[in-house]
Amino acid sequence: MPRRTMIEAIRDAMDVMMARDANVVVFGEDVGYFGGVFRATQGLQAKYGPSRCFDAPINESGIVGAAIGMAAYGLRPCVEIQFADYMYPGYDQIVSEAARLRYRSNGDFTCPLVIRMPTGGGISGGQTHSQSPEALFTHVAGLKTVVPSSPRDAKGLLIAAIEDPDPVIFLEPKRLYNGPFDGHHDRPVTPWSKHDLGEVPDGHYTIPLGQAAIRREGAALTVLAYGTMVHVAMAAAAETGIDAEVIDLRTLVPLDLDTIAASVRKTGRCVIVHEATLTSGFGAELSALVQETCFYHLEAPIKRVTGWDTPYPHAQEWDYFPGPARLGRALLETMEQ
């Protein structure tokens, strides 16, 4: 099976869908001739022409708003916001328009739209190239929010997102584009070519939205993670020797609560990890759901390991970023209770 980086897998997903469906169009800042600042759309304009893949003015509200109009017409736009940190000018279009169009028109108009955004830290990007705004989307009725953690998932989830009849926020952990980064920033990056999930099937396949994956089976404790934190959790489990069950949520909304609840009922312990800030983060929702569904199975308080409630810093990045050492300490503490 061919091995691909996550960027290649994402490009392949768009390529597959543009070839299958003439209604799929791709646009955003720098995505046309140049192929995107992360090269996710490289070659698509040459292959499908400038009316299917093109550069947009630097106006995120315009990109999302135009895409909503196209989706209402009957196209399936897959647009790129250059960094998730830049999505705020388009937030009104996402929240007030894309998310509610089906509902408010009683299905008269719909919005099959994918908004791709490189997300998360670990690239010395400071406060404007490192944010993880997933909770700003999971809080909005009418959106689906996806965060892949590997090339194979990224392709299958992105194809599922493009085929989905409703708007999907597709958050791409940019630190994973070239390898399964586990938080050890002082070590060389392992390439995806040496990881099982770097194997990406050719052609069309989907990974359904709303299904989590168990990345490591374990009996002692459940770790709920998504995106880059999946690999951090794998490293923390290996380095502490704790028999943790690592669940990769893959989709935050809709959430695979059955898989989560089954695991926590089995292990009795739960640690939640995400890069985003703590307060009102998606971990708060996960913690509440675990408490509501697994209370009588819990043997220790649910613990959250997250970014601090500060803007994402530049020089102090690795003090902010929840790496394997910090997560490992949380796993040990949770086991001791």
Partner 1 sequence: MTDDTPLTLRVPEPAVRPGGIPDFSSVRIPKAGSVMRPAVDADPESIRDLAYSIIRVLNRDGEAVGPWAGLLSDDELRDGLRHMMTLRAFDARMLMAQRQGKTSFYMQHMGEEAVSCAFRKALEPGDMNFPTYRQAGLLIADGYPLVDMMNQIYSNERDPLKGRQMPVLYSSRNNSFFSISGNLATQYIQAVGWAMASAIKNDTRIAAGWIGDGSTAESDFHAALVFASTYKAPVVLNIVNNQWAISTFQGIARGGSGTFAARGLGFGIPALRVDGNDYLAVYAVARWAIERARRNLGPTLIEHVTYRVGAHSTSDDPSAYRPKAESDAWPLGDPVIRLKNHLIARGAWSEERHKQAEAEIVDGVIAAQKEAERHGTLHAGGQPSVRDMFEGVYEQMPPHLRRQRQEVGV
- Residues of this chain that bind partner 1 (CB under 8 A): 23, 25, 51-52, 56-57, 59, 61-62, 65-70, 72-75, 89, 92-93, 96-97, 101-110, 141-142, 144, 165-166, 210, 253-255, 257-258
CA atoms within 13 A on the CB side of 284: 11
Specify the residue, 12 or 97, whose C-beta has the smaller distance to partner 1: 97
Specify the residue, 17 or 242, whose C-beta has the smaller distance to partner 1: 17
Which is the catalytic residue, given 129, 139, 195, 314? 129
Least Å distance between CB 179 and partner 1?
Answer: 33
Q: What angle do CA 177, 183, 188 make, to 5 degrees?
A: 70
Give rounded-to-5 percent helix, strand, coil for the chain. 40, 20, 40
Least Å distance between CB 60 and partner 1?
Answer: 9
Helix (H, G, I), strand (E, B) or coil at 82: coil
Specify the residue, 108 or 336, whose C-beta has the smaller distance to partner 1: 108
Active site residue 274: no
Least Å distance between CB 13 and partner 1?
Answer: 20
Q: In degrees to the nearest 10, what's the CA dihedral of 262, 266, 267, 270?
A: 20
Least Å distance between CB 49 and partner 1?
Answer: 10
Q: Give me the sign of the Cα torsion angle 148, 154, 156, 161.
A: positive
Specify the residue, 202 or 258, whose C-beta has the smaller distance to partner 1: 258
Helix (H, G, I), strand (E, B) or coil at 185: coil
- The enclosing H or E element of 253 equals strand 251-253
Going by DSSP bridges, is the β-strand pair 303-307/144-146 parallel, antiparallel, or unpaired? Answer: unpaired
Q: What whole-number distance in Å separates Cα of residue 72 and Cα of residue 113?
A: 9
The catalytic residue positions are 129
